[in-house]
A and B are shown apart, each in its own frame.
Chain A
Amino acid sequence: TQLLKQSPQFLSIQEGENLTVYCNSSSVFSSLQWYRQEPGEGPVLLVTVVTGGEVKKLKRLTFQFGDARKDSSLHITAAQPGDTGLYLCAGAPAGTALIFGKGTTLSVSS
């Protein structure tokens, strides 16, 4: 059973398009994190969302934490080839280690 479900699994778009990826769970998390992983490298933390309903912006990336703290979304405006990578959401169920969703592989072509 996958605790964090990400969708879509794959996304291929043209430069300049907008996109949203989702991270859903039936469990409540005290916080959720988003990482990006590029080929040949380890994941790198983008943001942590803590408060239900919270919205955080990182340049063209907007992250939202659901009101019930069971889900999160990542919206990218005007995607660029440099946004290409694997986007992972992660959360730590109480008392346990950080677990990851399977990720969304994003490909942005120019």
Chain B
Amino acid sequence: KAGVTQTPRYLIKTRGQQVTLSCSPISGHRSVSWYQQTPGQGLQFLFEYFSETQRNKGNFPGRFSGRQFSNSRSEMNVSTLELGDSALYLCASSALENTGELFFGEGSRLTVL
């Protein structure tokens, strides 16, 4: 079956702009998690959604937000972009909430100039 699909794969923005990233989970998976990956900090948890409800949230500023739709697809938004937001944003899906076994997409590479 199809894996986790993230769009766009690459994007370049300038400081102050906003960005929306999209994630389509594996069919039948109801949990979607988002992570930010940078060389210095590794994978840092952003948020987790299950059945359209945010279940957990990481330690990121309010500029980072997300949502999940009834078909389990998810989006995350970053407003007022800063240079430090440049990162690989990874989406992962899971069949159950908090099982911890995640299936990752290839990520969206965001560069902020």
Contacts and interface: CB of A to CB of B under 8 A. Distances in A.
Nearest to B31: A97
Interface stretch (B14-22, B66-74, B78-86, B96-104): B96-104
Question: Which 3 A-B pairs give the minimum distances between C-beta atoms?
Answer: A42-B104, A102-B42, A100-B43
A42 B4 contact: yes
B2 to A, nearest CB: 14
Contact of A40 (B35, B100, B106): B106
A66 interface: no
Nearest to A41: B106
Interface in B20-47: 33, 35, 41-43, 45
Contacts of B55: 97
Nearest to A29: B100
A68 interface: no
26 contacts: A33-B100, A33-B101, A40-B106, A41-B106, A41-B107, A42-B4, A42-B92, A42-B105, A42-B106, A43-B43, A43-B90, A45-B101, A45-B102, A48-B100, A48-B101, A88-B42, A97-B33, A97-B56, A98-B33, A98-B45, A98-B102, A100-B35, A100-B43, A100-B45, A102-B41, A102-B42
Interface of A: 31, 33, 40-45, 48, 88, 90-92, 95-103
A72 to B, nearest CB: 14
Contacts of B103: 45
B107 A42 contact: yes
